Amino acid sequence: MKLSDFTAGLEILKPHYEDGGDGYHIGAEHDIFYCYQTDTPLSPEEVKRMEELGWLQEEVSVDGEWKAEHYDPEESWAAYT
């Protein structure tokens, strides 16, 4: 994932946290960066843009690749490095 795609995804998610994204909403593992569940759902346009940027919801069970149509507002977001 390019840095610009990563930061664009963060900018989409920030307003969906009650504290404007200034809390402890992130985590990381070896090759993946997580943004925990948002406080408010993303719009369909924002979800589509997240997909285009390469973000996904790793915990959502799908057959094949995660797509915007699989969006679950109760799950976290992930970006692979």
Q: For 5-33, write each residue's pLDDT tens digit.
A: 999 999 999 999 988 878 888 899 989 99
Indicate left, alpha or beta for 29 from its phi (over 0: left) and psi (-120 to 50: alpha): beta
Would you place residue 3 in the very low, low, confident or very high pLDDT band (cuts 50, 70, 90)? very high
With 0.85 as the threshold, say if the pTM is over it. yes
Q: For 34-79, write each residue's pLDDT tens digit.
A: 999 999 999 999 999 999 999 999 999 888 899 999 999 999 999 9
pLDDT value at position 25?
86
Q: Return the HEC string of the chain.
A: CCHHHHHHHHHHHHHHCCCCCCCCCEEECCCEEEECCCCCCCCHHHHHHHHHHCCECCCCCCCCCCCHHHCCCCCCEEEEC
Pair 43, 33: CB distance under 8 Å: no
pLDDT value at position 81?
86
